[in-house]
Amino acid sequence: MAPDVVSRTLAGPRSLQRQNSASADDKPLITSLRLHIICLVLSLLAAFIFTLTEHDDHEHTLWCVFEIVMQTLLASLATIYFRVRISLLNETGVVTPVLVMVASLSLICEPIQRLLFGTGHAFEMLIMHSQCNLMLALAVCGFRMAFQRLAVMIAVFTTIFCCTISDASGLMPLTLLFVATAVTWLVAAWWETVDRRIVSSETGKIPKTWLATAAALPLLALLAASGFGSNKVTTALKGFMPSSGGTGENDPFSRGGVNDGDALIAGNENIKSFGPLDDAPFVESEQPSLYDVFNDQFDAPPKKIKNQQRAIALPPEMMKHIHQKMAEARKAGREFSLLRSEKRGNRDRIRDLKTKALFYIAGRTPLHLRMEVYDIFDGMEWAPCDAEPVLGLNITKTEDRHWLNIPQDGKGFEVYAGTAAHSVKNANLNGNIVPTPAHPVGVSIDKVDRADMYQVDSTKVVRMNRDSLPSMTPISFVSRCVDRSLIADSHRVTIVRRTTVRTLNDLTVSLPPGEKMEAIRRLAVQWTDHLPRGWPQIAAIESRLREQYALNREVAATSETSPVHEFLFETRTGGEYLFASAAAVMLRSIGYPARLVSGFYARPDRYDTDSRHTPVMAEDAHFWCEVSLGAGMWLTIEPSPGYDILQPPPGLLARLWAVIAAIGQLARDNMALLTLFCLAATIVVLNRRRLQNMLLTLRWRLTLRKSPSTLAIGLARLVDHRLRLAGIRRSGGTTLRRWARQPVLAPVREELARVADLADEVMYQTQRTGQVDTSELDLLARQLSYSELCKLRSRAAANESTHAA
């Protein structure tokens, strides 16, 4: 079938449209039963295809069959019911509410299903469900051509969508059948309307206003989205469909996706950057790698590695796969080798990348990454005590990963709210300490299934059991987030206060003696004395330091006896290590076990929207403090201003509130400008008609430079615009002179008729006999001013209301 025929059939003939949208006397056209049945079959086929796609894991075959049978039965029975009561339904407005209800059924049921049964659908499948239901309902209501057309369009979309995402076995024959039925429907629909086409071949008017609005809305939405934050538009819209975990979150009801979600996809061609990809192709290099590709079942390694470290053996099938893959790539001339790419083009860029960041973080920020914990303080120096290694580490295998279980602390504390997933990818970090988030639960490196590859000590700092961290290998963490509001609830947590050193662990409360330490203690007491014991006192010290002391890395401590005392009482400014030390010392001085932690701080403002990772630079090295809540749980305290702690993943309401708060903040920051803008906008909106009139009048006056004849026509147009602005818009089918017969325009009828006379004369008189008097035109323009017309309009409205009363 020719494309134009298809498009005309889908668009419908003009006469048919007119008949459908005719006055109340005309009943909408009823389609034939034959066409209705074809449409229903088409929609059912699309629904079958969707059902197959949804159950393409073959785990619920019976349910799939049941669903198809029920769809067919319900749709057929409903169609029969509708055809029987066609006259009744066609006249009442019951159909549209029913359609809306059917379309929103899935959306309403989903939260209930998730709440009651714990099962649910991915967002896009939910939308497709809703759309599929609407399609069937439209097909059932297909006694009107408009409904049929919409049903067929949805069916086509559904089928294309399903064919794109699924490889279910029965899909191909069903799709072919669908195509055949669709063509049949097109032919039948065209044939039904052919007689009306012969009568009328008029082309319809394009609703330009609506088209422009439809095109402008997405654009406006994009602009609006780009207005918040400094990120790109795409980043702002990222995660709208929570399928691929683009926001760093893991929606339990989402399907597997690409990019930075659950299943990261590695590039194998023209790779210019790297990310924490678990299945990135590995090449054999001279650099020490965790996955040095050798296998003790085979011969010696293919290349001599200078610095051989502990490595794991990949299974033979994996080995084979990697070698085969690389061989294929080489055959196609798409060699991939990081070493080679360093030597060839783009060298600078790759080198730049390596030199800039120590490592990269994927996941939510801000994030404190712990590297070293210092327990012992002698007044001048912090020193770590020998942490005991955690013995008996074990690996848990999930679907496709091996997770090292890290013993959890703080058992019995109900202060956790949600988990966070992060990946660390080392670029230039030396040593074997993995930058570890607080409260880690598990750590995983793809294919590493041996616990002895890791070392975890009692401070929960994770190390690799080798000299250095593997480069280019993502190390994934799952950690728990602490909700500080839960700690604040004193009924949940009782923070132990210790004043004496009983064990080695109690070194965390010990302080060197001296006057200066006593002064610090007095200051701490002064800050916290009015507060109850426990969290409020800790929080007070933290907030006091954040609020009353200034962060300045340039200022170094000069005191050779007590830098902390100097910081607290004299300079009141310094680097983070002074803030952290001050916090730890103050906390210790009033009996709370506290310690210093060094590591890195992943700054949210460093987030790279292109690579979707947060690089951590050398200058992001950071110090903070931890306080013990008891039972081995150490809570991060951030006394340095400008640094934040990772909050629990926000819920929907919290996210909404955050958006509102961000907007509010933006408004507060630009209050003067915003007020001015609002004022101007209000004035413009309130006086928009007056302003329009002013502009139009100005334009008309500018035509004075042209001939007076055009001025007369311009006046008629101006008066027309003024009538529109005053709410007395002339309908397109009548002339200005006839429109002047409206009762509301009675006082200016003569003037309007005169304007029409003058314009008609210029417009229609072939042999012009007289000249238009510009002064008369000017007078008429003043007599028919916008304000005068508005007065007439309001007077008429007042008269109407008086009559009504």
Partner 1 sequence: MTTSELQKQPSAESDLQAVDGIRQRLNASLKGKADVIEMVLVCLLSRGHLLLEDKPGLGKTTLAKALAESIGGHFARAQCTPDLLPSDITGFNIFNQKTHEFEFRKGPVFSEVLLADEINRATPRTQSALLEAMAERQVTVDTQRYDLSDAFFVIATQNPVDQHGTYPLPEAQLDRFAMKLSVGYPAMDDEIRMLAEAVVDGRQPTVSSDACLQAGQLQALQARVAAISVATPVQDYLVRIATETRSHMSIALGLSPRGLLTLQRASQARAFLAGRDFVTPDDVLDVIFPVLGVRLGLEVREAARVTQEVLDAVTVPAYSEKSPS
The three-class DSSP label of residue 434 is strand
Closer residue to partner 1 (CB): 13 or 534? 13
Closer residue to partner 1 (CB): 136 or 758? 758
Neighbours of 76 (CB within 10 A): 14
Q: Which residue has the tokens 């006397």?
A: 25
764 counts as binding partner 1 under rule CB under 8 A: yes
Measure the CA–CA gap between 326 and 331, rounded to whole angstroms. 9
Tokens representing residue 595 in the block: 């310690």
Q: Which of 314, 469, 756, 780 binds partner 1 (CB under 8 A)?
A: 756
State in angstroms the smallest separation of the CB of 16 from partner 1. Answer: 10
DSSP annotation of 649 reads: P
Closer residue to partner 1 (CB): 767 or 775? 767
Measure the CA–CA gap between 541 and 564, rounded to whole angstroms. 14
Q: Which stretch binds partner 1 (CB under 8 A): 221-229, 334-342, 397-405, 755-763?
A: 755-763
735 counts as binding partner 1 under rule CB under 8 A: yes
Measure the CA–CA gap between 790 and 781, rounded to whole angstroms. 14
The three-class DSSP label of residue 2 is coil
State in angstroms the smallest separation of the CB of 756 from partner 1. Answer: 8
Composition of the chain by helix, strand, coil, percent to 5: 50, 10, 35
15 counts as binding partner 1 under rule CB under 8 A: yes
443-466 burial: b if 16+ Cβ within 10 Å, else e: bbbbbbbebebbbbebbbbbbbee
Measure the CA–CA gap between 162 and 789, rounded to whole angstroms. 59
State in angstroms the smallest separation of the CB of 22 from partner 1. Answer: 7
Measure the CA–CA gap between 109 and 112, rounded to whole angstroms. 5
Measure the CA–CA gap between 297 and 63, rounded to whole angstroms. 47
218 counts as binding partner 1 under rule CB under 8 A: no
State in angstroms the smallest separation of the CB of 710 from partner 1. Answer: 4
Closer residue to partner 1 (CB): 720 or 778? 720
Measure the CA–CA gap between 593 and 584, rounded to whole angstroms. 8
Q: Which of 68, 78, 313, 753 binds partner 1 (CB under 8 A)?
A: 753
Binding to partner 1 (CB under 8 A) within 686-705 occurs at: 703
Q: Which stretch binds partner 1 (CB under 8 A): 171-179, 391-399, 451-459, 757-765?
A: 757-765
Closer residue to partner 1 (CB): 205 or 331? 205
Single out the residue of 226, 227, 261 nearest to residue 242, CA to CA: 261
Closer residue to partner 1 (CB): 465 or 765? 765
Closer residue to partner 1 (CB): 125 or 713? 713
The three-class DSSP label of residue 369 is strand
766 counts as binding partner 1 under rule CB under 8 A: yes
Q: Which of 345, 532, 743, 770 binds partner 1 (CB under 8 A)?
A: 770
The three-class DSSP label of residue 463 is strand
Please say whether the dihedral angle defined by the alpha carbons of residues 238, 242, 246 and 249, taken in this order, is positive or negative.
positive
202 counts as binding partner 1 under rule CB under 8 A: yes
Q: Which of 754, 777, 781, 786 binds partner 1 (CB under 8 A)?
A: 754
Contact between 153 and 161 under an 8 Å Cβ cutoff? The reply is no
State in angstroms the smallest separation of the CB of 205 from partner 1. Answer: 11
Q: Which of 760, 788, 793, 796 binds partner 1 (CB under 8 A)?
A: 760
87 counts as binding partner 1 under rule CB under 8 A: no
20 counts as binding partner 1 under rule CB under 8 A: no
Q: Which of 503, 767, 775, 802 binds partner 1 (CB under 8 A)?
A: 767
Closer residue to partner 1 (CB): 90 or 573? 90
Q: Which stretch binds partner 1 (CB under 8 A): 298-306, 428-436, 729-737, 786-794?
A: 729-737
728 counts as binding partner 1 under rule CB under 8 A: no
Cα–Cα–Cα angle for 278, 281, 286, nearest 5°? 110
Backbone angles phi, psi at 91, to 5 degrees: -90, -30
Tokens representing residue 791 in the block: 């007065």
Closer residue to partner 1 (CB): 200 or 548? 200
Cα torsion through 504, 505, 506, 508, rounded to 10: 120
Distances (CA, A) of 294 to 39, 80, 308, 328, 400: 61, 69, 11, 20, 22
Backbone angles phi, psi at 629, to 5 degrees: -100, 0
Closer residue to partner 1 (CB): 570 or 750? 750
Distances (CA, A) of 281 to 277, 278, 328, 521: 9, 9, 12, 57
State in angstroms the smallest separation of the CB of 704 from partner 1. Answer: 13
Closer residue to partner 1 (CB): 631 or 763? 763
Closer residue to partner 1 (CB): 769 or 775? 769
Measure the CA–CA gap between 334 and 324, rounded to whole angstroms. 14
Q: Which of 320, 655, 729, 738 binds partner 1 (CB under 8 A)?
A: 738
Q: Which of 89, 587, 725, 762 binds partner 1 (CB under 8 A)?
A: 762
Single out the residue of 308, 424, 303, 407 nearest to residue 363, CA to CA: 424
Closer residue to partner 1 (CB): 154 or 762? 762
The three-class DSSP label of residue 4 is helix
340 counts as binding partner 1 under rule CB under 8 A: no
Measure the CA–CA gap between 264 and 777, rounded to whole angstroms. 74
Contact between 452 and 465 under an 8 Å Cβ cutoff? The reply is yes
Q: Which of 85, 706, 729, 782 binds partner 1 (CB under 8 A)?
A: 706
Q: Which of 750, 782, 795, 797 binds partner 1 (CB under 8 A)?
A: 750
Q: Which of 96, 200, 396, 561 binds partner 1 (CB under 8 A)?
A: 200
Q: Which stretch binds partner 1 (CB under 8 A): 87-95, 325-333, 582-590, 749-757?
A: 749-757
Closer residue to partner 1 (CB): 28 or 267? 28
State in angstroms the smallest separation of the CB of 740 from partner 1. Answer: 9
Measure the CA–CA gap between 182 and 6, rounded to whole angstroms. 11
Q: Which of 763, 779, 797, 798 binds partner 1 (CB under 8 A)?
A: 763
Q: Which stretch binds partner 1 (CB under 8 A): 16-24, 70-78, 115-123, 273-281?
A: 16-24
Q: Which of 26, 489, 570, 619 binds partner 1 (CB under 8 A)?
A: 26
Binding to partner 1 (CB under 8 A) within 604-663 occurs at: none
Tokens representing residue 30 in the block: 């009823």
State in angstroms the smallest separation of the CB of 699 from partner 1. Answer: 11
Query: Residue 512, preceding bond cis, omega within 30 degrees?
Result: no
Question: Interface mask (CB under 8 A) for partner 1, residues 533-572, using x and -?
Answer: ----------------------------------------
State in angstroms the smallest separation of the CB of 164 from partner 1. Answer: 43
Closer residue to partner 1 (CB): 17 or 505? 17
* DSSP symbols for 729-764: PPPTTS-HHHHTTSGGGGGGHHHHHHHHHHHHHHHH
Contacts for 658-667: CB closer than 8 Å, 24+ residues apart: 659/228, 662/228, 662/229, 663/228, 666/228
Binding to partner 1 (CB under 8 A) within 707-726 occurs at: 709-710, 713-714, 716-717, 720
* DSSP symbols for 494-526: ------S--SGGGGGG----SHHHHHHHHHHHH
- The count of chain residues that interact with partner 1, using the rule CB under 8 A, is 41
Single out the residue of 629, 637, 458, 461 nearest to residue 544, CA to CA: 637
17 counts as binding partner 1 under rule CB under 8 A: no
Chain residues binding partner 1 by CB under 8 A are: 15, 18-19, 22, 26, 199-200, 202, 703, 706, 709-710, 713-714, 716-717, 720, 731-735, 737-738, 750, 753-754, 756-767, 769-770
